[in-house]
């Protein structure tokens, strides 16, 4: 799974001279990441175990990224100024991936995606204690408003599965931890962070493979070639989505791109409707809009604050 960060906590500060190109590339990345989520949800619906699906997603992603990055950057791309922070970030990302796909198994894709966008608001609200940043009321207000939007999405009459809702909220908290760790590794190249993100998950899930693969082999053997393509595509869409994000921030500043990251909710809703016939109702869209507006607003406030 991959998630875009609405307040750009990990966006590298490039020259950013082509804003329209950046917006276009970011738009493509939201569709790629939603394609990852939809593919994972679909193959789990066939009976592919969560850990097996995530292993395929991480290993294919990792190998594709290495194939693209190593020829130009060499093994030096693994060199990190804060290796322990990279491992911590990769571990948080792995736990968030497992939690999110558990939520996605029970929830419609649009609602599960929208709940995740609470994560950067959580991160900003706790940053004064964890990152020793100045406390700002605007961050706490934005987090409170965003949580109100999530409460509207997960209201009792929305018909969302309780297990999915719990794991959706847990995922948001885990992504907040990942974003906090991302601040710690900002001194590294974004490609180094991308490689370590895939490496940590691939190694951990490969170590667990002997315990999870034997029971899954009969099911995997029964998959058709088309179903195998969808399973393998989880890694492809993840790699493409993250690489496109990096390219988008090369073209445009984070402040320009921040509002467009929320287009991922639209792509998730469209895919959920096309594949499963699931589409948020009016109240759910209201909650989604509140979450999006709170994130966009605090993103703009943070950007203006840095300029002053």
Q: Are 272 and 288 in contact (CB under 8 A)?
A: no
Say if residues 188 and 89 touch (Cβ distance below 8 Å): no
Average the pLDDT over each of 123-127, 206-210, 221-225 and give the range with the smallest value: 123-127
Contact in structure between 2 and 33 (CB atoms under 8 Å): yes
| pLDDT at 303 (0 to 100) | 67
Residue 240 maps to a domain = yes
Whether 144 contacts 291, CB under 8 Å:
no
What's the rounded Cα separation, in Å, for the pair 43 and 228? 9
Determine the Cα–Cα distance for residues 127 and 140; give it in Å rounded to an integer.
10
**Which residue, 222, 245, 241, is CA-closest to 233?**
241
- Coil, strand or helix: which one is 291? helix
Instruction: Name the residue among 31, 80, 66 with its Cα closest to residue 188.
Output: 80
The answer to whether residue 122 is domain-embedded is yes
Mean pLDDT of 250-272: 85
Q: pTM to 2 decimals?
A: 0.89
> Where is pLDDT greater, at 69 or 14?
69
C-beta separation of 287 from 146 below 8 A:
no
Q: How many domains does the chain have?
A: 1
d(CA 133, CA 146): 21
Inform me whether the pLDDT recorded for 208 exceeds 90: yes
Q: What six digits make up the tokens of 79?
A: 């060199």
Average pLDDT over residues 35-51: 96
Q: Looking at the domain assignment, is residue 12 inside a domain?
A: no
The band of 1, judged by pLDDT with boundaries at 50, 70 and 90, is low
Inside any domain, residue 88 = yes
Is 9 part of a structural domain of the chain?
Answer: no
**Could you report the per-residue pLDDT of 292-307, keeping only the tens digit for each?**
998 888 777 766 666 5
Q: Among positive and negative, which fits the CA dihedral 215, 219, 221, 225?
A: negative
Model confidence at 13: pLDDT above 70: no
Whether 11 shows a pLDDT value over 50: the answer reads no
In a domain, 4, yes or no: no
Coil, strand, or helix at residue 180? Answer: helix
Containing structural domain, residue 295: 19-307
State the residue for tokens 């759910």.
284
For 239, other C-beta atoms within 10 Å of its C-beta total 25
CA distances from 126 to 94, 135, 137, 228, 239 (A): 21, 9, 12, 42, 30
The token pair that represents 62 in the structure block: 């990792």
Percentage of the residues of the chain whose pLDDT score is greater than 90: 59
> Is the residue at 76 inside a domain?
yes
Provide the pLDDT for residue 8: 43
Structure confidence at residue 20 (pLDDT) = 86
pLDDT in tens, 273-292: 999 999 999 999 999 999 99
């Amino acid at each position: 799974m991959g998630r875009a960060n609405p307040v750009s906590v990990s966006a590298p500060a490039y020259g950013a001279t082509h804003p329209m190109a950046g917006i276009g590339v970011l738009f493509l990345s939201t569709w790629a990441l939603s394609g990852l989520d939809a593919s994972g949800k679909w193959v789990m619906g066939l009976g592919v175990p969560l850990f097996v699906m995530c292993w395929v997603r991480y290993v294919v992603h990792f190998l594709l990224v290495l194939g693209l990055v190593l020829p130009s950057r060499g093994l030096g791309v693994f060199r990190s100024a804060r290796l322990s922070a990279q491992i911590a970030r990769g571990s948080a990302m792995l736990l968030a991936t497992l939690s999110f796909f558990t939520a996605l198994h029970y929830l419609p894709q649009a609602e599960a995606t929208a709940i995740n966008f609470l994560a950067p608001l959580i991160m900003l609200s706790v940053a004064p204690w964890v990152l020793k940043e100045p406390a700002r009321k605007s961050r706490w207000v934005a987090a409170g408003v965003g949580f109100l939007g999530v409460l509207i999405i997960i209201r009792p009459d929305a018909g969302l599965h309780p297990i999915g809702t719990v794991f959706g909220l847990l995922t948001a908290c885990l992504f907040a931890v990942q974003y906090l760790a991302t601040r710690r590794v900002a001194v590294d190249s974004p490609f180094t962070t991308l490689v370590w993100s895939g490496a940590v998950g691939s190694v951990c899930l490969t170590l667990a493979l002997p315990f999870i693969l034997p029971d899954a082999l009969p099911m995997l053997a029964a998959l058709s070639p088309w179903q195998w393509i969808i399973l393998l595509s989880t890694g492809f869409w993840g790699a493409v989505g993250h690489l496109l994000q990096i390219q988008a921030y090369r073209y445009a500043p984070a402040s320009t791109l921040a509002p467009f990251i929320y287009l991922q909710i639209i792509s998730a809703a469209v895919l959920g409707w096309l594949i499963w016939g699931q589409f948020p109702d009016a109240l759910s869209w209201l909650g989604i809009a509140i979450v999006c507006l709170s994130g966009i607003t605090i993103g703009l406030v943070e950007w203006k604050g840095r300029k002053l």
